[in-house]
Amino acid sequence: MGMRAETFAPAETIQKSPSSWSILGRELIKDKLAMSSLVFLIIFLIAIYGSTFFIDQAAVTKVDLMSIKAPPSSDHWLGTDLAGRDIFGQVVLGARNSFTIGFMITILAAAIGLTIGLIAGFFGGIIDNVIMRFIDFVLVLPFLMLVIVFVTIVPKYDIWAFIWIMTAFLWVGKARLIRAKVLAERELDYVQASKTLGTPNWKIIAFGILPNLSSIVIVNMTLNLAGNIGIETGLSYLGFGLPDGTPSLGTIVSNATDPNILQNYWWMWLPASLLILVLILAINFIGQALKRATDARQRLG
Amino acid sequence: MWKFTLRRILIMIPQLFVLSVLVFFVAKAMPGDALTGLIQNNPNLSPQMIAEQRERMGLNDPAMVQYARWVGNLFHGDLGISYVHKVDVTYLIGSRLANTFYLGVAILILTYIISIPLGILSGRYQNSLLDKTITGYTYLSFATPLFIFALVVVFVFGFQLGWFPTSGSVDAGVQPGTWDYFMNRLHHLLLPAFAGAFVSTTATIQYLRNEVIDTRLKDFVKTARSKGVPESKVYSRHILRNSLLPIAAFLGYDLTAVLAGNLFIESIFGYPGLGQLFLQSITQRDFSVVTALVMISGLLALIGTLLSDIILSWVDPRIRIS
């Protein structure tokens, strides 16, 4: 009798398994470090994009010989550089450019990597083989050196050229990850059932497999965003990043290539460096929390 | 075992071919050619003589022929002539190679000194305060951009505290071959090597931690414990023997990083190695040197992954199947 009663348990006690989005959200709230990182990131984004209306790039980049190398004061919150330009204004503009461009590279690399990874993993066979040989090859190439070479030899170098050069190298890692996941996914019953029912391949990929990959893609994109901002600012530091006229946080840090500035004028490079560090750490903490959420064994709650 | 090794070596041949074609066409896209290094800033040459010389050197030949000649020269170790310094590229690279090699080796040694104990401790005392601290450290070292860390390190330990030199690989006037010379070089090497190692420890620590956590619950470890093997020996004899070999195999993959990753370190610490040579050459538009360095790095990377793949397949037979 008891068993029967259980079999006919009222329907409302059956829990719907939570969607991948609500799992990601719940993990973020549980993890205090990730939550405070998220709050910081939101305030940071509002500040840098909102201030665009108040900060005028011409005024920030204006050379003011009366106030060269001025230490931080109420006029110039973070002092001025060798040409008397306000560092604080440059940091705000640089942060905006670095974040925007890192974000665009991440989106583009994800879009291309996702498409190619889905195709390689789903169809397999010779297509997969050719694509994977190519990906393995690109992954071995000396990435930084080639980016620097392309940045130097591209005619009419501008922001888009930089974005595409970076994307050309960065989609491969993503495609490899997605392909591995699709390989596992396509053996599952629901894909086999759809195939048997005659669902067209693109529908299985777009509406069957893709939603199941969404959480992995989100996690990977978050971590890549942090990495891409790091690479962009690093290249800009070396002088092979964003073109002249588009200040990056890395461009400000490159003041420190002069040992005299590195040693004696900390405000010209340290605040921008710390901002890069904090920004990347915050995005990473969010990414790590999301990563834990995708692995049921590691969740906090 | 030999089948996998042979197949893996065969895969490298098309990779080498594609790499050389890529570098060749990138080099073609750069301004200047083999003649530029010889004639630049020489006003005594008439345009007609230059044209004749071009024809004689085969610079007007079809791309295919030029490619074949370029590859042939590569095999003979002829990398062309530097446009700026007017010397053989091989000589320029040779003068810097040792420095980059020492830096790479120092980074690797420091990486292992830091990461192997941390990884083992972290896994052995899982979820303890120590483990959490070490995991926190790996989060930091994973996220911190190398150039920022290197700048802060050189600022604090080089300029503020004055413990280490801030540029160069050795002080002028120290007699080569003496003990002082060795110590002086080591002194110059420590700070850049530490900066590089800080960032590269993450992977090894996380790998070892997971390995130790997985292995210490396995049956053969339980058997060893129930036989009465002391805990320290369980770790040194039974668990680590399994986990350390793959780490040795990762050495090959690190070869790639030795050159490329050192762009930042060598530029920030003013260390005269290949990374610095690359940056100087590209700034001075000395493209024959740039081409040679890209080709060599690509080659090293291919050989490095080849070595790692082969060693890993010997250590772990499961890899051979795929």
Residue numbers in A near B32 (CB within 8 A): none
**What value does the mean pLDDT of chain A take?**
84
Please give the pLDDT value at position B216.
80
Residue A241 has phi, psi (to 5 degrees) of -110, -125
Phi, psi of A299, deg, nearest 5: -60, 150
CATH classification of the domain holding B142: 1.10.3720.10
Name the percent of chain B lying above pLDDT 70. Answer: 89
CB nearest to B282's CB, from A141, A148, A284: A148
- Write out pLDDT tens, residues A133-145: 899 889 888 888 8
From chain A residues 244-273, the ones with a CB under 8 A of any chain B CB are 253, 256-257, 259, 262-263, 266, 269-270, 273
Query: What confidence tens digit (pLDDT) does each residue in A73-87 have?
Result: 766 667 777 776 778
Q: pLDDT by residue (tens digit) across B130-189?
A: 998 998 899 888 888 989 999 999 888 888 888 888 777 777 777 777 777 788 888 888
- Determine the structural domain holding residue B303 and report its residue range: 89-319
Whether A149 contacts chain B with CB within 8 A: yes
Instruction: Chain B: give the shortest CA distance to residue A230, in Å.
Output: 6
Residue predicted with more confidence, B255 or A162: A162
Look at residue A86 and give its three-state secondary structure. strand
- A41 touches B: beta carbon within 8 Å: no
Q: Indicate the burial class of B159 (C-beta count within 10 angstroms; 0-12, 13-18, 19 or more).
A: middle
Burial of B76 (0-12, 13-18, 19+ CB in 10 A): exposed
pLDDT band at B257 (very low <50, low <70, confident <90, very high): low
pLDDT higher than threshold 90 for residue A4: no
B286 or A172, which is more confident?
A: A172
Q: Looking at the domain assignment, is residue B135 inside a domain?
A: yes
- For A136-159, what is the mean pLDDT? 88
Task: Report which of residues A82 and A240 the model is more confident about.
Answer: A240
The pTM of this model reads 0.85
Residues of B in contact with A281 (CB under 8 A): 139-140, 143-144
Comparing CB atoms, the residue among A140, A285, A288 nearest residue B301 is A140
Cβ-based contacts of B297 with chain A (< 8 Å): 142, 145
Give the pLDDT mean for B21-50: 72
Structure tokens that stand for A157 in this block: 């170098």
Nearest CA in chain B to A283: B143
Residue B71 belongs to a domain: no
Do residues B299 and B15 touch, judged by C-beta distance below 8 A?
no
* Residue A115 pLDDT exceeds 80: yes
Among the residue ranges A154-158, A219-223, A270-274, the one predicted with the least confidence is: A154-158
Give contacts of A 104-133 with B, CB under 8 A: 133
pLDDT at B258 over 80: no
Cross-chain Cβ contact A148/B305 below 8 Å: no
List CB contacts (< 8 A) between B19 and chain A: 137, 141
Mean pLDDT score, B99-105 = 87
Average pLDDT over residues B119-129: 88
User: Which structure tokens are listed for A208?
Assistant: 């069957």
Q: Is B110 part of a structural domain of the chain?
A: yes
Q: What is the pLDDT of residue A2?
A: 45
Q: Looking at the DSSP assignment, which residues form a beta bridge with residue A80? A: A86
Under 8 Å CB pairs connecting chains A and B tally to 107
pLDDT tens digits along B176-223:
777 777 888 888 888 999 888 888 888 889 888 888 888 888 888 888
Q: Across the interface, do A144 and B260 touch by the CB < 8 Å criterion?
A: yes
Q: Please report the pLDDT score of residue A100 as a whole number.
A: 93
Structural domain count, chain B: 1
The whole-angstrom distance between A156's CA and the closest CA on chain B is 14
B88 DSSP β-pair partners: B81
Q: Quick one: three-class SS letters along chain B?
A: CHHHHHHHHHHHHHHHHHHHHHHHHHHHHCCCCCCHHHHCCCCCCCHHHHHHHHHHHCCCCCHHHHHHHHHHHHHCCCCCECCCCCCEHHHHHHHHHHHHHHHHHHHHHHHHHHHHHHHHHHHHCCCCHHHHHHHHHHHHHHHCCHHHHHHHHHHHHHHHCCCCCCCCCCCCCCCCCCHHHHHHHHHHHHHHHHHHHHHHHHHHHHHHHHHHHHHCCCHHHHHHHHHCCCHHHHHHHHHHHHHHHHHHHCHHHHHHHHHHCHHHHHHHCCCCCHHHHHHHHHHCCCHHHHHHHHHHHHHHHHHHHHHHHHHHHHHCCHHHHC
Quote the Cα angle for A273-B103-B27, to 5°: 80
Q: Mean pLDDT, chain B, as a whole number?
A: 81
Q: What is the mean pLDDT of residues A124-132?
A: 89
User: Over 50: is that where the pLDDT of B244 sits?
Assistant: yes
Best-predicted range by mean pLDDT (A81-90, A136-145, A273-282, B302-311): A273-282
pLDDT at B6: 85
pLDDT of the residue at B45: 67
Are residues A142 and B259, on separate chains, in Cβ contact within 8 Å?
A: yes
Inter-chain residue contact A149 with B293, CB threshold 8 Å: no
- Say what the pLDDT of residue A236 is: 93
pLDDT of residue B36: 63
Residue B156 falls inside a structural domain: yes
Contact A262 B154 (CB under 8 A): yes
Is residue B213 situated within a structural domain? Answer: yes
> Is B155 domain-assigned?
yes
Residue B182 lies in a domain: yes
Q: Which two tokens stand for residue A222?
A: 């978050």
CB contact under 8 Å between B297 and A148, yes or no, is: no
Ramachandran class of A110: left when φ > 0, alpha when ψ lies in -120 to 50, beta otherwise: alpha
Confidence of residue A1 (pLDDT cuts 50, 70, 90): very low
| pLDDT > 90 in chain A, percent | 31
Q: Is B35 among the domain residues?
A: no
Please say if the pLDDT value at position A10 is more than 60: no
User: B167 and A259 in contact by Cβ < 8 A?
Assistant: yes
- Phi, psi for A255 (deg, rounded to 5): -50, -30
Average pLDDT estimate for B106-116: 89
Q: Which residue from A140, A143, A256 is facing B151, i.e. has the nearest CB?
A: A256
